[in-house]
Amino acid sequence: MNAARITAALTLAMLVAACGPTRPAPGIQGDPERGMVALTQYACHSCHAVPSVAGSKVYVGRPLDDMAERRYIAGKLPNTQANLVRWLMDPQAIDPGNAMPNMGVSERDAIDISAYLLSQ
């Protein structure tokens, strides 16, 4: 049945697209699965395109699909997990006047969000 095959393919595509990393990459602390949900609760995906998170096309912040390879954060900090956590918690302290506001991210949530971004 053609219709059944299309339905199955669509279902599979939706499932695959909805999955993110469930385990942290080597050397990365935190829980990436929890980080993906935490990220949506601080509206990161409202300004940044985030892999595996459904959202509108946005043209505000940079896409976050290659954070594991990216060398610098905001063109200022070497991209280590510790620095990414600092940035997520207080971007204005690192780069005053940056369009990214402080979102009030707690340390635990910042660790998990960074684990998600660095485990892609």
Partner 1 sequence: MVLTLLGAGLIGAVIGLIVLRGGFYNIAATAQHYPLIYTVFEEGLQYSVQNHARDIVAPESLGTPEQLLRGAAVYKANCIQCHGGPGVAPLKQGMSMQPVPGPLVDADVNWETRELYWITRNGIKMSGMPAWEYHLSDNDIWAVVAFVSAMPNMTPEDFRRMTSGGDASPAHSVAATQGETP
* Cβ–Cβ < 8 Å for 108, 65: no
Closest approach, Cβ 76 to partner 1, in A, equals: 16
Closest approach, Cβ 18 to partner 1, in A, equals: 6
State which residue, 4 or 26, has the beta carbon closest to partner 1: 4
* Cβ–Cβ < 8 Å for 79, 72: yes
DSSP 63: P
Q: Which residues bind partner 1 (CB under 8 A)?
A: 3, 10, 13-14, 17-18, 37, 40-43, 45-47, 53-60, 92, 97-104
State which residue, 46 or 80, has the beta carbon closest to partner 1: 46
CA-wise closest residue to 58 among 107, 4, 99, 6: 99
- 56: which residues sit within 8 A by CB, 6+ positions away? none
State which residue, 49 or 77, has the beta carbon closest to partner 1: 49
